[in-house]
Amino acid sequence: MTTSLRTSSAIKRALAEEYAYLVATFDPKHRERQATNAIKKRLAPWQCAACGRRPPEVERLEAAHIAPLAECAETTPQNLVLLCKEPRAKPPGCHTLFDSGCASIDEMDACRESWTAGRSSVLRDRMLLVFQQHGPRPHQQGHLTKELTNLRAQRNSLSVTSPQWHDVQLSIAEVTRRRARRDALSGALHEIEKVESRLLVDGRARSRFHYERAYINLLLGNLRQAFIDFDEGRTILAQSSTVGNRWRWAAHTALLAQVSCIMRAGDTAGGWSWNSVLRQLADGLGKARADLKELHDTDGIGESELRNSSRWVYNCLVHLVKPDLAQGRVNAARKRWDEAAKYWRTMDITSGWDAGSRSNLLALYGQIALASAASEEDARNALPYLVRALVLLLGLRRQQPEGVRDLLFGIADGLRRVGEGTRGGQIMAVAAACVDYSSWFHPSVPTADAA
């Protein structure tokens, strides 16, 4: 296979019957659904745990996984809770609100305790408030198209010499990058070249310009330019003591670590060593945590600042798993994964939760399970985590879905270890054709670095 696969839909088409086989054989969703239905009959009291309503006040009650089924959580009575489901209602039922990230796993755990003890809960009230302020999150491509239209109208009402015009143009480049179109990245690069960074309002805006240009170049495989821009943005932020700049510094640092990994694989000079990656990521985690604490203690800070600082604490925790795993330190990787998962349980959409993070965390769990597998049975038990992560990732319909190359190579290795080498080889051929410059274990290496 020589075609370069750049979108979720193209990768799914290339996998073809292999994808259907993986889902039918290893995806635990159907099996766990059957177990859920069996346990549901034993759950009590027969009312929604989050709002106390019961049919006919609500359309129906469903057994919801607290630690989500999407993360291959176990289907046990302790991990299930009754929540109301109202598909046609506005606002939606409690199950939909929870699945949309309006409450954390820890909050739903506490809600379950109250429910089983017969105490009333006000969790629905909080979830409704979160939903009204933040949800549903605009991951769908239609939302991005609408957002892009609105931004262009806003830009066209401004003077091209004003800082505001360039700030809006920067947002246009970012939204263009996030679209799942074949020409999205070239279009984003074209849009960001219209921005004159010297006209942006302040250092934070200029650092955002370097971050976005670097991200676009990273996804295009222009590694040297990406490294230069991430580093320049980090330098700008380091020169300011303004609260909120530390989590932004951590964001640049995490992506510099990612670029370094690919540069090393391609024998490109200038990237960090593994020791530097670990040290820099740990430093970034510390800075993001310090920012989050200070932001919590500061009056008048916008919710987006708190959400993004929390998100980059989580992202740094996840990134720190990867160097240990790449170098074979499986026990260390598992401990770091546990720390990231513990933090994930506290998150909702007000603190950086998003649907895409599930597949990344789940894929790493599967990679760790596969790396520590001592038998064919161990390898077979690791595959459901990797396959469920693949289903989630490809369901997001993204341009160059990040992590898919590592994920497919992991699945191919797992199939080989359970005696399905031929099928594993076919999936490995698809993996090799995927263009994914976010990989840490099997990175795409550009044939010609344009920077």
- Separation between Cα atoms, residue 104 and residue 110, nearest integer Å: 10
Domain ranges, ordered by start, for the chain: 42-134
Kindly tell me if the per-residue pLDDT of 354 is higher than 80. yes
CA-closest candidate to residue 284, choices 257, 263, 261, 305: 257
* Average pLDDT value for residue range 1-30: 89
pLDDT of residue 434: 93
Average pLDDT over residues 75-79: 91
Whether 72 shows a pLDDT value over 90: the answer reads no
Mean per-residue pLDDT, 133-145? 66
Q: Give the chain's length.
A: 451
Residue from 181, 182, 184, 206 nearest 195 by CA = 206
- Long-range residue pairs from 9-15, CB within 8 A, at least 24 positions apart, any chain: 9/180, 9/397, 11/394, 11/401, 11/404, 11/408, 11/430, 11/434, 12/394, 14/430, 14/433, 15/427, 15/430
Per-residue pLDDT, 108: 97
pLDDT at 80: 95
Question: Range with the lowest mean pLDDT among 160-169, 186-195, 432-441?
Answer: 432-441
Do 296 and 243 contact (CB within 8 A), yes or no?
no
CA distance 256 to 275: 14
Q: How far apart are CA 131 and CA 193, in angstroms?
A: 36
Residue 301, pLDDT above cutoff 90? no
pLDDT tens-digit series, residues 246-282: 999 999 999 999 999 888 877 777 789 999 999 999 9
Q: Is 81 helix (H, G, I), strand (E, B) or coil?
A: strand
pLDDT at 449: 43
The region that residue 316 occupies, defined by phi over 0 for left and psi between -120 and 50 for alpha, beta otherwise, is: alpha
pLDDT in tens, 37-56: 889 989 999 999 999 999 99
- Give buried/exposed letters for 97-111 (b at 16+ CB in 10 A, else e): bbbbbbbbbebbeeb
pLDDT for position 139: 47
User: How far apart are alpha carbons 251 and 260 in whole angstroms?
Assistant: 14
For residue 218, is pLDDT > 50? yes
Span 151-172, pLDDT tens digits: 999 999 999 999 999 999 999 9
Q: Which two tokens stand for residue 116?
A: 């089983």
The per-residue pLDDT for 137 is 54
Q: What is the structure's pLDDT at 445?
A: 78
- When mean pLDDT is compared across 52-66, 125-139, 234-248, 288-302, the lowest value belongs to 125-139
Confidence bin at 17 (pLDDT 50/70/90): very high
Measured CA distances, 321 to 257, 284, 348, 367, 389 (Å): 12, 14, 22, 11, 17
Higher pLDDT, 392 or 268: 392
